[in-house]
Structure 1
């Protein structure tokens, strides 16, 4: 079976982001073209998301030769460019933040690169104020490209930065401006493998348990960091340990699948965040059996990039195998939900 024969989830399309293969890339086991070829060989498309600054030397400058070669690779392997991840880098200059004009100018060549490479969607970042996105709309219209910031934990659809964008979008009412949900906002637990990694770092068990207790509270990440610090203060904990454990409040956050419902019409791409699986092939910290039906029933028909983030703390694990498990899970869930064969 070739990449473009891979069965797709009903209602929306599957794909991979090269971010999942960070270890394979950093350890130089695969080059850029080899990663693309392996994604196709293992039927992990048809969508392919890349990260501009980490995947393309000299980005956002893209040569004619590179653009032509990339398009040839897509055709050769039966893959489809799904999303190009770009950066806001508002604090690029030490000690100062970019002005709106500077931020707009910083985004322009990245959007031009997406157009040159044939990407229909751009994943942007909330670090840039909503006004930047609005100012870029004429350029997006010129190229017919959709753009949206990633709603990543600890944010959710109703967080202040997201609401600021939603309010700005309502004024221009453009189908090219939207959002990129990251399913790490819908966790019900932290991965056991992540907790095991904390123990390997010899962090005190009582502090780990205290941090997990705070993580489950229905509050935002800033509140949780302060609450955790308040609770550990009498324990005279090592500040380095407190800092290391506080990271958990940002990588995943508790959330219900239903919170995405009203945002789905503005979703331009999806990051299917995942970490690990149980013996039955279910993700151990994110309830995909609840999330995917919400997006299917909401009418989302774009791509979901399988985004394995276990590479942050897991070594010796084949990321391609992990992505394959994630896509198999997605097909099973949608097939069961729709009553059709996977």
Structure 2
């Protein structure tokens, strides 16, 4: 019998994966999300800025339409991606009260659609705003997740104070969401192909292919950028090396696990050469098992930036791979005891 996930781990799909289809507008965004529940996963993380025309103050009718349509198919919402627009102009920052007022309609919509929580970038809210939000989070029974991803690390000077603030609140309604783009043993094969086709120098390509985690590789990336030698047509793609692709190990998360309530299982393509897709999942499964983690693990595809693959097939295949990779450590650890509980796959 194949190993299974613990009952309190829930695999989900992010509507972010369908950005190309949503922006193509051949179907309504609501129909795209309903299609996810029909054919990929019953539990879905929403990106409401792509979904509700009235966002960031979603109208009840839009929210109700999606909630009812999903419920009719046995679907539900896990987390809603929130937005906090801190500035009203390039120089005018919103006051604390204005920032709160900007978020409140989004919390109300998340509750109305039946979500478990909302998501913001790590540290953006700040302690003062988090404290103001706590009563509403409790009233609506929502969790605010602050996301750490890519090149960010728990001991990063821009991240550590935010983690300390969350720990200081000691509130189950304010948690951390970890995107495993932090845990990349190697760069995606298809991404390297795009860089090669785009004209990145061969010596840097060799470093990126063979020594991604070597700090000297990042130094070489920055040097090329500062020298103005990044080909213009791949400049945006090249910036992923500085922001979206991380070089941490799963063990680096050990100290913050008590604060973590959810994960994004970020993937870029499904070429698993050398375990570049599956190894972080294996490592995460080993790290989490036995910790008491209860939460969502959401398939999030970032490779549509350069790939034209079908998001439905990509996500379905990734969820199958992720479920197997996350569960595999259980087969080793529980071989001498009773079988692992049945998976709560939410598919």
What TM-score range do you get, normalising by the shorter chain? 0.7 to 0.9
Q: Which residue, out of 295, 301, 316, partners 1:302?
A: 295
Q: Shift of the alpha carbon at 1:78? A: 1.0
Partner of 1:323: 315
Q: Shift of the alpha carbon at 1:289? A: 1.1
The yes-or-no answer on 1:276 pairing with 2:269 is yes
The yes-or-no answer on 1:64 pairing with 2:60 is yes
Kept in 1, the 8 Å contact 2:37–2:44? The answer is: no
**Mean CA deviation greater in 206-215 or 259-268:** 206-215
Kept in 1, the 8 Å contact 2:183–2:246? The answer is: yes
Q: Distance in 2 between matches of 1:247 and 1:69?
A: 36
Kept in 2, the 8 Å contact 1:152–1:184? The answer is: yes
Counterparts of 1:236-247 in structure 2, within 5 Å, are: 237=229, 240=232, 243-244=235-236, 245-247=238-240
Q: Shift of the alpha carbon at 1:113? A: 1.7
User: How many residues are paired up?
Assistant: 329
The yes-or-no answer on 1:108 pairing with 2:104 is yes
Q: Distance in 1 between matches of 2:30 and 2:229?
A: 47
**Mean CA deviation greater in 281-290 or 169-178:** 281-290
TM-score (norm 1): 0.85
3-state SS in 1 of match to 2:45: strand
Kept in 1, the 8 Å contact 2:52–2:62? The answer is: no
CA 1:285/1:243 → structure 2, altered by over 3 Å: closer, same or farther? Answer: farther
Q: Distance in 2 between matches of 1:239 and 1:195?
A: 14
Q: Which 5+ residue runs of structure 1 have no aligned equivalent? A: 1-6
Q: Distance in 2 between matches of 1:114 and 1:232?
A: 40
The yes-or-no answer on 1:337 pairing with 2:329 is yes
Cα displacement string for residues 37-71 of structure 1 (whole angstroms, at most 9, x for unaligned residues): 321232x2221111121211111333332232222
Cα displacement string for residues 88-146 of structure 1 (whole angstroms, at most 9, x for unaligned residues): 22245213433433322222221122122221211112333233222211111111110
Partner of 2:336: none
Q: Distance in 2 between matches of 1:303 and 1:101?
A: 31
Q: Distance in 2 between matches of 1:8 and 1:28?
A: 37
The yes-or-no answer on 1:86 pairing with 2:78 is no
TM-score (norm 2): 0.84
Kept in 1, the 8 Å contact 2:182–2:245? The answer is: yes
Partner of 1:255: 248
Counterparts of 1:1-342 in structure 2, within 5 Å, are: 9-10=5-6, 11-42=8-39, 44-126=40-122, 127-209=124-206, 215-218=212-215, 224=218, 228-230=221-223, 237=229, 240=232, 243-244=235-236, 245-278=238-271, 284=277, 287-315=280-308, 317-339=309-331, 340=340
Q: Distance in 1 between matches of 2:303 and 2:230?
A: 26
Alpha-carbon RMSD across the aligned residues, in angstroms, is 3.0
Q: Distance in 2 between matches of 1:299 and 1:334?
A: 15
Q: Distance in 2 between matches of 1:166 and 1:236?
A: 36
Kept in 2, the 8 Å contact 1:211–1:246? The answer is: no
Greater RCO (CA < 8 Å, at least 6 residues apart): 2
Kept in 2, the 8 Å contact 1:8–1:14? The answer is: no
Kept in 2, the 8 Å contact 1:9–1:330? The answer is: no
CA 1:210/1:282 → structure 2, altered by over 3 Å: closer, same or farther? Answer: closer
